[in-house]
Structure 1
Amino acid sequence: MRKIAQIILMTALILTAFASNAFGQKLGYLNSQEILEKYKAAQDVKSQLEELNKTWEQEALNMQREVKELSDQLEAQRLLLSESKRAEKAGEIQTKYAELQQFQAQKWGPQGDALKEEAKLLQPIQTKIIEAINVVGEKEGFDYIFDTVTANIVYVSKNQIDLTARVLEELEKGLASSGSAK
C-alpha cells in the first residue's frame, strides 16, 4: 500500500514537473528517511536512543525476573504458608507487577520517556535538515521541494504567491451569498 502511494506521488510529481516547467517553476523532491539514515548526526542520536532503550529494557527484565521469582516462591511455599501470609505474598507480587507495568508505560507509553527523549535529541537535527533544504532550495532556484516519504511540501520559494487571503475572501463571499439565499 505504501509503495503504491509512493508510486502515485512520484508520478504526480513528475507530471507536475513537466506541466510546471511550461510555467517556469522548478520542482524537486527528497527522501527524508534516507537523509535520517545517512546523516551522521542522526545516526549518533539513533545510537544514543538504542543505548538508553537497552538500559531500560534491562531494568524491565530485572523487574520481570523479580515478579517471577516471587511467584515461584509463593507457589513452592503455598502449602506451608498461612492464609494471611499467602495473601501478603500475593499482594507483594501484585505490587511488583503494577510497578513493572507503570515502568513500561512511563518509558514506552504514548507519552513515554522514549518518545520525549527522541523528540528532544532529534529537534536540533531536524532544524539542521530544514536549514539545509532551504539553502539548497534557494541556491538552486527551486520553487517547491517535496518529501516523498511524508508526501509533504518541505520547501516553498519566497517568490511564490500566498493565496490564503484570496481563498478566505472567496469563502466569505460564498457564505454571505448562501446566507442571504435562506
Structure 2
Amino acid sequence: MTKKIFFSLSLFILLITTTASAQFTPQVSVAFVNTTQLLEAFPEKEAATQQLVALSDNYKKELELMQNEYNKKYSDYITYQSSLAENIKLRRMQELTELENRMQQFMELAQEDIENQEKAMLEPLKQKISEAIHAVGVERNYTVIYDLANPGIAFVSPSAIDANPYVKQRLGIR
C-alpha cells in the first residue's frame, strides 16, 4: 500500500513539475525571409534596374568614342612613325599615354557613379524591407527571423515559418 501511495505521489509531483516547467518555458517562434526575393518583388526595383542599365549604356557609348579616338591616333602613329621627327613621335606617344590614362579614369569614375546611383536607388527599398520585417516580427511575436539571403545561415528547420508573404503584404507587393 505504501508503494502505491509513494508511486502515486511521485507521479503527481512529476506531473506538476512537468506542467509548471512547460508554463515557464518561453515559446520560441522562428521564421525566415529572403531579402533578395523581397527586393526583386518591388516594382521600383525594375525601374531602378532600367535606369542603371541606361546609365551604364551611356557610359559605354562614351567609352567607345574614347576608344575609337585612341585607336585612330594609335593607327596613325604606327602608320607614320617612320617618317616622323623624334619630337613629334614623343608628343604623339605622350598623347596616347594621356588618352589611356583618361580612359582608365573615366572607367573608374563611371563604375563609382553606377555604384552610387544603385545604392541611392535601392537603399530606400532595403530600409522599407527592414522596417516591414521588424513590424512582422513584433506583430506575429516571432523570436527571430533569419534572412536566407545572408550566407551565414546554413540551416533552416522545416518547421520554420516563411515570413516573406507577411512582409510582402506589409509592403503592399506581390
Q: Report TM bin, short chain.
A: 0.5 to 0.7
TM, length-normalised to structure 2: 0.68
Looking at structure 2, the residues matched to 69 and 127 of structure 1 have their Cα atoms a distance apart, in angstroms, of: 48
Deviations 1:34-90 (A, max 9, x none): 112222112211211111111111111211111111100111111221111111111
2:89 maps to a residue whose letter is R
| Counterpart residue identity of residue 78, structure 2 | E
How many percent identity over aligned positions? 23
Structure-2 separation of matches of 1:79 and 1:152: 62
Where does residue 72 of structure 1 map in the other structure? 75
Report the TM-score, using the length of structure 1 for normalisation.
0.65
Residue correspondences, number: 129
* Alignment partner, residue 143 of structure 1: 143
Q: SS of the counterpart of 2:83?
A: coil
**1:128 aligned partner, one-letter code:** K
RMSD of equivalent CA atoms? 1.8
What stretches of structure 2 of length at least 5 have no aligned partner? 1-24, 154-174
Equivalence map 1:87-126=2 (5 Å): 87-108=90-111, 112-126=112-126
Deviation at 1:151, TM superposition (A): 4.4
Unaligned runs of 5+ in 1: 1-21, 154-182
Structure whose CA Rg is larger: 2
Matches within 5 A, 1:30-179: 30-108=33-111, 112-151=112-151
Native 8 Å contact 2:39 2:126 kept in 1: no
Misfit runs of 4+, over 3 Å: none
